Chain A
């Protein structure tokens, strides 16, 4: 089943009342999470993951996707109104949007942000519908050696694109993969790295690691700061939020460019919404007739950044659904959600579970419409959440996170593990070691090991199998080029020269 026929089938599933309800719940919860400052999409999706338990897989995935999209939308609201980015992908929205708000143009900035996100998200999903099945057909030819090399390549790209030091990124990934080796080996039944601790025999669930590294660590980091109450909250009428003709003239070009570029970058492992927003902002500034105006409140820049975020979010689903490879922390959590629901994303998803994948893609269209409908009239309601004093919010998040970790195994021991990872996440942030690569390693570590072992079983222990197969060799070449280029950049353009001049 392909193309338009498949999409129609997907809409039949997505438009079922129960699935519409799940999509609605997902986008509402996601937007609320996105509005909360300091709680990014990764943390938000991780702590809301338990809400999908007990539901049938299609509905649960629709809710998860809604949470993901909603969190992206919600982050722009606090950026524009309070100069507090809901997450890192909204930083550039804060730059321009807050300046617009200071000029009394917060409402059209919010409106253009929502509309631009909707347009880009819709086109991104169209591109996803077109490209994903084609890539899935190619991926069906992959065997264990190809998958193993593809995973190594993906780790390297994520470390290269989304961190400022590829070596730290790779260390983080490998540490994450190591975590997946703790517990009983599924192939031989031997316990590894449990050191006699019974609670570790079943391994460490991904969600416990995610909650610890992101939610608990975030709370610990925020304990180092005081949180004064936010400024007076405004309310808006829908009419005020509709952009003017002049706003549209300024924004339509950036929206189109941001959609195409955002989608392409989003497809790459490591090419998440944050990087996309920086690249798109830089591109718009460089081609603008008035670059000096950037930073003073340019509505076209708000539109382009928000459009790129949503296009990248759609693009990130391409490798996730077709190869089972998430390219960012957030899609890593989504992948874990898929696995918890018994669905293994990858090329066979389109063959064996067309109802799930096309239902999910169709629900993304619907979710996009819901977000536009919700965000315009209800934005005043959503930002009332910010009236909650931070201490209450922090307590709620920590309790919710603790219960999320507990819900995996009903075992108090997992709470200690979550706390351990919370402390680890805090230390990693202090030492500037990136967290998303570790999360990626934890999600994909099991798949990496099984493909590694299957490959060497096929070749009777010979490592040459990775070099003898054209696709796996190609992935290894891409990996080596990425590593070498990054190391050359680090050595040639690193900060050592400035350090030496400070010393002398």
Chain B
């Protein structure tokens, strides 16, 4: 219950801050010549309306933190069995942090090298690293799997859908 209240209050505070930021940014939006010719609300009016709604809702959430209404979304009690019998096992806290951080770093590196190394090279290499570091797969199996997935995605997107994927050294050429 403490955790629910804390979580609700974190959400309320974040949304409150977001509302203030939106409000301040909105009143600073300049009105162009086109906007001054218009009747009705100006450019920043709708975001201000949203900011007011966020303010009201975030304050309400802060006050009612931890409370939960009866919801049709609440599953019948028999559904607990499904969760208890679930075969996915939660990792330890340190393992989770390591896996999440590794994933985020890998994705960042992938996006950085993608325009330079091209889709096939970067996906094969980073895909293999993904499998090795996060799932402890064998190097050969990881490279092969990543390569096959790259080929499959290339066939679907580049050849099947006609969507050009980043080519090798594309960023340097352009």
Contacts and interface: CB of A to CB of B under 8 A. Distances in A.
A490 B85 contact: no
A220 B101 CA distance: 10
A226 B91 contact: yes
Given A85-B82, A175-B18, A407-B157, A192 B69 contact: no
Contact of A167 (B45, B60, B73): B60
A412 B86 contact: no
Contact of B86 (A83, A174, A490): A83
B173 interface: no
Contacts of A419: 104, 107-108, 111
B163 interface: yes
Given A92-B79, A395-B131, A168 B61 contact: yes
A224 B73 contact: no
Contact of B146 (A161, A181, A395, A495): A395
B159 interface: no
A391 B145 CA distance: 10
A432 B7 contact: yes
A242 B85 CA distance: 28
Nearest to B61: A167
Contact of A190 (B32, B74, B153, B162): B32
Contacts of B75: 91-92, 278
A293 to B, nearest CB: 11
Nearest to B158: A403
B160 to A, nearest CB: 8
Interface in A235-290: 274-275, 278-279, 281-282, 285
A225 B57 contact: no
Contacts of B90: 224-225
A384 interface: no
Contact of A279 (B39, B72, B86): B72
A50 interface: yes
Contacts of A95: 76, 78-79, 81-82
A190 B43 contact: yes
Nearest to A397: B149
Is chain A's binding surface mostly helix, strand, loop or mixed? helix
B94 to A, nearest CB: 12
Given A50-B163, A92-B79, A499-B1, A399 B86 contact: no
A188 interface: yes
Interface stretch (A13-21, A199-207, A452-460): A452-460
Interface in B49-91: 49-50, 53-54, 57-58, 60-61, 64, 66-76, 78-79, 81-82, 85-91
A399 B54 CA distance: 35
A171 interface: yes
Contact of A431 (B1, B7, B53, B67): B7
Contacts of A457: 38-41
A51 B81 contact: no
A277 B130 CA distance: 37
Question: Chain B interface: which size bin?
Answer: 35 or more
B41 A452 contact: yes
Interface string A38-74: 0000000000001101100000000000000000000
Given A92-B79, A396-B149, A407-B163, A490 B69 contact: yes
A195 to B, nearest CB: 9
Contacts of A82: 87
Contact of A224 (B100, B127, B161): B100
A464 interface: no
Quick one: which of A181, A281, A392 has the most chain B CB within 10 A? A392
Contact of B39 (A53, A430, A461, A498): A461
A44 B127 CA distance: 21
Contacts of B161: 50-51, 53-54, 407
B50 A177 contact: yes
B118 interface: no
Interface in A118-161: 161
Contacts of A354: none
Contacts of B58: 171
A193 interface: yes
A162 B75 CA distance: 12
A228 interface: yes
A121 B49 CA distance: 41
Contacts of B165: 403, 406
8 contacts: A190-B43, A230-B87, A278-B73, A403-B163, A410-B164, A489-B70, A493-B69, A499-B1
Interface of B: 1-2, 4-5, 7-8, 10-11, 15, 18, 22, 25-26, 29-32, 34-35, 38-47, 49-50, 53-54, 57-58, 60-61, 64, 66-76, 78-79, 81-82, 85-91, 96, 99-100, 103-104, 107-108, 110-111, 114-115, 123, 127, 130-131, 134-135, 137, 145-146, 149-150, 152-153, 156-157, 161-166
